[in-house]
Structure 1
Amino acid sequence: MKKTFLTALALSGALCLISWGFKGHRAVATIAQKHLTSNTAYVVSAYLSGSSLADVSTWADENKDRATAPWHFMNLPLGLSHDQFVKLVSQSDGNVYSAIVKTEAQLKDKSLSVEQKNEALKYLIHLVGDAHQPMHVAGKEDKGGNTIQVRFDNKGTNLHTLWDSRLIDHEGLSEADIAKTYDTATPAQIAAWEKDSPLEWLWESYQISTQLYAATKPGQEIDEAYYKKYIPVVRQRIDQAGIRLAGELNKLFGNEAVPQVKAAPPVQAAVPAGLVKLEDLKNFTGKNVSVQGKIYSVKDISSMVLANMGAAYPNQLLTLAFKGDTKALANTLEGKVVSVSGQVIEYRGKPEIIITSTDQVKVQ
């Protein structure tokens, strides 16, 4: 079987395949962010210049690169057995499977620049979501369901778009509520899902898309019964994608030193007296700021010392992560008011600043 088998698809068809839509991809990324280890979160934030996973989760769709358009999907013959599927996919190239393998290899490559890893990471964040959208591992003849016209909510659509976004939109949940509602995996499920390889993620999608072809006919009016039957599948696939993305990133970066990247220009002039309010830090992710507040609690976790500003854990408004030689300073700060400068990152939904120099902290 030639490796080019799965790349023989017109680029015009490739460019129209957008997986999960904006809400779905951001939900995958938001779930993943919550399940990153502390070190992984710092490394990822450094490679992404302070952006969160959700912030860059749709970049690969927005980038519109014709050379990488086929990376988002995989078109296959129907009726393959597991062994046939594994053999065909493992020998293929220029599709979502080979792209995941390629980007993970790039992220392990110590010779690549921070800029190259930034791009590889943005692709990987997106492609793990793509791999879990069933209609992105589907039939070649109908371009992953794009040519199968149906109606839903009194509007014309197609089977691919139905699964990208229409079922999710029908729920009427906000972006934040989608991530919260979908993130329901138990510890046992997390352990099991993270053990599966990308080949198995794709096999799962292939099995589901096979079922969808049998359940969805051209011209069909998609009713509430269909929605209630399949929205749990949508939720699980997005949850699985988030958990597995976190698992892959933790394996890649769990023990990696935080890369040194050039800091973004300060944004102090955008706020009164050069200080950002603690309550507003969520709006400054990825920016260099100065902030002031009381340290309510301090915890030494060996690899770093965490100091909570604005309130004690878990109600803190900002966490300061003291690393290296600055840890000794952190242990003297409880109960004191300090001024801090540094880049804001997001970790598990809360703002943090990494402290690597005592010059970043001044006791008032």
Structure 2
Amino acid sequence: MFQSFSIISLLYLLIFPSLDWGKTGHQVVGALADQHLTPKAQKEIEDLLDGASLASISNYGDEIKSNPKFRHLNPWHYINLSFDQSNVSAKKNLKGDVVMAIKKCIAKLKDLDEPKSERVFYLKLLVHFIGDIHQPMHVGRKEDRGGNDIRLRWMGKSTNLHRLWDSQLIERHGMSHSEMVQDLISLSPQVIKEIQSQPLETWVAESQALAIIIYEESPSNSSLEQDYYSRYLPLLKMQLQRGGLRLAGELNEIFR
């Protein structure tokens, strides 16, 4: 049975590669959010998660991908936008996208008539999807599947643009998620409040703007080295920080 499950999981990863931030990136978002919760939100979340941290459940959206029951959630991890489109002007995916998914999760969590199991499920997804929307290649182009089809070389090894931004830049940083949280720049309460007050449409626009730059500076068949890492690490960390702060902001609003 284990061998069969492993083969199925491997085939799934080959068909749907690199769907979001790697494990560490999502944990950074969750751990940072944990640090910025109000006491009331923290208590409500602890009750829902039976004491588990946001960091510990942040990869739930990935962990259920190999289960056919949740295959309909695949499009919820991203939104495809061409360079001249905005989230408002783009034709909506009838199967959903990450913007729709975040709104749905928030609505489910606010509905106190929902059973606890449903609210727990959508809380776990919300933590994951807010991480996803801050990964620039999740607001990438449909024609190359958010950079999955852009082959290049990273530090001498073959990879693709999406995978590079999912996990390989973070792996190059060489820190655990808790170390990365400590490594983020210190922001004033005023700046944090400003980041948290920005609407979902702004999150999309920020990621899209970064994606456009990344596409231009990471063309197919390019060979990327240390200078690329040095140039883009601050932007990557900025997106993780925005994701964690905004996750906390949304949860504080939901559980106020």
**TM-score clears 0.5:** yes
In 2, the alpha carbon distance for the partners of 1:166 and 1:13 equals 17
Greater strand share, 1 or 2? 1
State which of 223, 230, 233 in structure 2 corresponds to 1:231: 233
| Partner residue, 2:192 | 190
In 1, the alpha carbon distance for the partners of 2:188 and 2:130 equals 20
Structure 1 SS opposite 2:112: coil
Paired residue total: 240
CA contact (8 A) 1:92 1:98 kept: no
In 2, the alpha carbon distance for the partners of 1:130 and 1:120 equals 15
Q: Does 1:112 align with 2:114?
A: yes
| Partner residue, 2:223 | 221
| Partner residue, 2:49 | 48
AA in 2 matched with 1:187: P
In 1, the alpha carbon distance for the partners of 2:140 and 2:30 equals 23
CA contact (8 A) 2:18 2:166 kept: no
Say which structure, 1 or 2, has more relative contact order (CA 8 Å, 6+ apart).
2
| Partner residue, 1:58 | 59
Change (3 A) 1:131 1:14: farther
CA contact (8 A) 1:146 1:161 kept: yes
Structure 2 SS opposite 1:68: helix
Structure 2 SS opposite 1:20: coil
Query: What pairs with 1:81-100 in structure 2 (closer than 5 Å)?
Result: 84-88=86-90, 93=94, 94-100=96-102
How big is the alpha-carbon RMSD for the aligned residues of Structure 1 and Structure 2? 1.7
In 1, the alpha carbon distance for the partners of 2:98 and 2:47 equals 25
| Partner residue, 1:204 | 206
Q: Does 1:76 align with 2:81?
A: yes
| Partner residue, 2:169 | 167
AA in 2 matched with 1:250: N
Q: What is the CA deviation profile of residues 112-168 of structure 1, one whole-angstrom value per residue up to 9, with x for unaligned ones?
A: 001000000000000000010000001000000001011112211110011011111
In 2, the alpha carbon distance for the partners of 1:70 and 1:95 equals 5
Deviation at residue 12 of structure 1 after TM alignment: 8.7
CA contact (8 A) 2:109 2:254 kept: yes
TM-score by length of 1: 0.63
Runs of 5+ consecutive residues of structure 2 not aligned to the other structure? 1-11
Deviation at residue 85 of structure 1 after TM alignment: 3.6
CA contact (8 A) 1:193 1:240 kept: yes
In 2, the alpha carbon distance for the partners of 1:15 and 1:36 equals 33
Query: What pairs with 1:4-15 in structure 2 (closer than 5 Å)?
Result: 15=16
Change (3 A) 1:92 1:184: farther
Structure 2 SS opposite 1:167: helix
Structure 2 SS opposite 1:157: strand
Greater helix share, 1 or 2? 2
Identity over aligned residues, as a percent? 36
Runs of 5+ consecutive residues of structure 1 not aligned to the other structure? 1-10, 255-364
TM-score by length of 2: 0.89
Structure 1 SS opposite 2:51: coil
CA contact (8 A) 1:13 1:143 kept: no
Structure 2 SS opposite 1:87: coil
